[in-house]
Structure 1
Amino acid sequence: MSKQDYYEVLGVAKDASERDIKKAYKRMAMKYHPDRTKGDKALEEKFKEVQEAYEVLTDEQKRAAYDRYGHAGVDPNRGGGARGGHADFGDIFGDVFGDIFGGGARRQSRARQGSDLRYNLEMSLEDAVRGKNVEIKVPTLVGCDECDGSGARKGTSPTTCPTCHGQGQVQMRQGFFAVQQTCPTCSGRGKIIADPCRKCHGHGRVEKSKTLSVKVPAGVDTGDRIRLSGEGEAGEMGGPAGDLYVQVHIKEHPIFVRDGNNLYCEVPISFTRAALGGDIEVPTLDGKVKLKVAPETQTGRMFRLRGKGVKSVRSGTVGDLMCKVVVETPVNLNARQKEMLEELDKSMGTGDEAAKYRPREKGFFDGVKKFFDDLTS
């Protein structure tokens, strides 16, 4: 099956800058990362495509080869290295023309940025609406303080690799072509640690749980992310640390349901209060307030309390509280109460007379009668 164009995979133009490509990669990687796709094989393959496209398009020589020769220019089966194969086809062109015109292209080994981390933060609705400073503990990789991240025992330092002379790559001739390969001695680092640090065993990083204070702004909602720059994993070979993304999840509330900046709740009232009207108390996040119920209120009617919702974390606008009235049928009636209800029912009469008091009931049964009449006609 033919491969999709790398620019199309990342959704960028062919003249996109490296910065635009990196931004597109981060967006796509977050979308298709295996941690989020939960075992979906198709999306895992998509994630691999995104990684492959990013690796090629952010490498100047590989990108030049891809722009000129397409996938053949970076195919690992033809000497390329788009998937991390040993031979780097993108470097062939630089080395060949460098040998002809002088000054072959050689890539220096580079420090690697640490991985980004994600932390899932559960919050109550009240804390999310008002904002809060939260302390979290994050397991991560940090720079080894024993060797200052060098990986070498204290008092010593890494030495230049004698095989690649610090380049991280070695050159192998194949006839007219000169192919660059990752140095087998130093694994591309350009340095060798003869006496590794006993604490980090030469890795330059150690596992550690660190406590961070996160300022959660008022109005955050489920799905919002808070970025803590430089609080991810420590980089390799002195590279910068990654970032930590705090993913917010709001716990279910016993009374309120949030939808954007609005809050919704159900308020049960007696059928006498619904019929006669009057003031009732309803809850808000700031305490109880009075709500005036109009006479003859039907169940399901929605009342709006303006400004009693959530203040938007982005625009600053405040939503409303929507109270849905639910008329509650009385239960556990004694004999006298049942007698009074029967007297009330009789006082309303029957037929057309009762329709004055129960118009929805009459309308419903008139509709039912018409339905059956139409079936039999």
Structure 2
Amino acid sequence: MAKDFYSVLGLKRDADEKAIKGAYRKLAREHHPDVNPNNAAAEARFKEISEAFQVLSDPEKRKLYDQFGEDFDKIPPEYAKYGPQGPPRSQGNVNFPGGVGGQGIDFEELFRQAQSQGGPSRGAQTESRGAPGGVGDLFGELFGGFRGGQGRRTPQRGGDVEQPIEITFAESIKGTQRRLNLTIRSDRGEEKRDVTVKIPALINDGATVKVSGKGASSLNGGPSGDLLLKIRVKPDPFWKRDGLNLKIEVPLSFPEAALGGQISVPTGSGAVGLKIPAGTPSGATFRLSKRGLKDEKKGESGDVLVTVRVAVPKNLAPREDELIRELATLRSENVRAGLPNSL
């Protein structure tokens, strides 16, 4: 029975790209071998889902599948462009039965007919035999153009494989090198990959690092696909990044905020002094120019943005409590005088 990739993903034939991706992600999570260890049925279902998504997510493959069914990849490009009705009579009497609507080409039946007319057998050189315009001629025309008349498919490139990888904030800034031992699942089954990958400096969260030729192997002698590493930068407890700028929050004591002073703050290249003016409010931001990250290729440097937060003491000694109450008496101003009573 011909495979219906739309039914495999639970979709209608007019499903858009978003629906296809959503259905695949949901089903892949449900049937992934890591979620269902030692479950042959789940693994088979996962492969079926992946095969359907690989075809339907590619606009060109989907178009051919809709015309010719699951055997679309057996149709030479010079014939595929004419659709399931085949080329005009002047180019040969070729018809693709049942191609419309994804029913597929019954190649087994065509091979049996070809052999009964003296046509080619599997693996044999395809020649045009039997009555002109018969099935033997069909196979001669259909496959004769492959590599000097040999009935072999053009080698197809293996599929790309996505793999998430988490790095620290510092590694995203300075760059790093990782050795990965991966198990890649493809139509060939499980493949082991031992990959050493260099992650460049100043890489962003969500970026992709491509490792050429380390994806899924080809099924018929073509080149392997690529390994696509999806970068996830682990959040840092102190630093945040905005391009080449670094952001950090620094606590201030109440006396430092009220009286001002000199404090030491970290930067991308070491600690530096920062002058705090008297009366600095919590949330004030200071800019340290050219103290952020540096892009060596562009010769550009970012800044460090320091946001101060006034630390309110929680456990006061008796003398501290006394002094603060005295301060409250001395400064009897209403700091909320400008607020409205309502909307």
Shorter-chain TM range is 0.5 to 0.7
Q: Deviations over 1:315-335 (max 9, x none)?
A: 664433222111111221111
In the alignment, which of 44, 66, 83 is matched to residue 65 of structure 1?
A: 83
Does structure 1 conserve the Cα–Cα contact (< 8 Å) formed by 2:267 and 2:291?
A: yes
Equivalent position of 2:125 in the other structure: none
Equivalent position of 1:139 in the other structure: 183
Q: Secondary structure at the match of 1:274?
A: helix
Query: How many residues matched?
Result: 263
Unaligned runs of 5+ in 1: 11-27, 70-76, 143-202, 373-377
What is the one-letter code of the residue matched to 1:345? A
Does structure 2 conserve the Cα–Cα contact (< 8 Å) formed by 1:137 and 1:210?
A: yes
Does structure 2 conserve the Cα–Cα contact (< 8 Å) formed by 1:220 and 1:313?
A: no
Equivalent position of 1:154 in the other structure: none
Summarize the alignment of residues 202-217 of structure 1 with structure 2, pairs less than 5 Å apart: 207-217=190-200
* C-alpha spacing 1:208/1:39, structure 2 compared with 1 (3 Å): closer
Give RMSD over aligned pairs.
Answer: 4.4
Q: Deviations over 1:205-247 (max 9, x none)?
A: 6845332221111001111111111111221222211111111
How high is the sequence identity, in percent, across the aligned residues? 28
Q: Following TM superposition, by how much is the alpha carbon of 1:336 offset from its aligned partner in structure 2, in angstroms?
A: 1.1
Say whether residues 1:99 and 2:117 are aligned partners.
no
Q: Following TM superposition, by how much is the alpha carbon of 1:53 offset from its aligned partner in structure 2, in angstroms?
A: 4.2
Does structure 2 conserve the Cα–Cα contact (< 8 Å) formed by 1:217 and 1:313?
A: no
CA distance in 2, matches of 1:87, 1:312: 59
TM-score with structure 1 length normalisation? 0.57
* C-alpha spacing 1:297/1:60, structure 2 compared with 1 (3 Å): farther
Does structure 1 conserve the Cα–Cα contact (< 8 Å) formed by 2:218 and 2:224?
A: yes
Equivalent position of 2:290 in the other structure: 307
Higher relative contact order (CA 8 A, sep 6+): 1
CA distance in 1, matches of 2:54, 2:297: 31
CA distance in 2, matches of 1:126, 1:112: 40
Equivalent position of 2:98 in the other structure: 79
Does structure 2 conserve the Cα–Cα contact (< 8 Å) formed by 1:218 and 1:311?
A: no
CA distance in 2, matches of 1:130, 1:229: 23
In the alignment, which of 90, 112, 120 is matched to residue 156 of structure 2?
A: 112
Q: Secondary structure at the match of 2:327?
A: helix
* C-alpha spacing 1:313/1:275, structure 2 compared with 1 (3 Å): same
What is the one-letter code of the residue matched to 1:362? A
Equivalent position of 1:276 in the other structure: 259
CA distance in 2, matches of 1:53, 1:231: 24
Equivalent position of 1:252 in the other structure: 235
CA distance in 2, matches of 1:299, 1:111: 65
TM-score with structure 2 length normalisation? 0.62
Equivalent position of 1:345 in the other structure: 328
Say whether residues 1:336 and 2:297 are aligned partners.
no
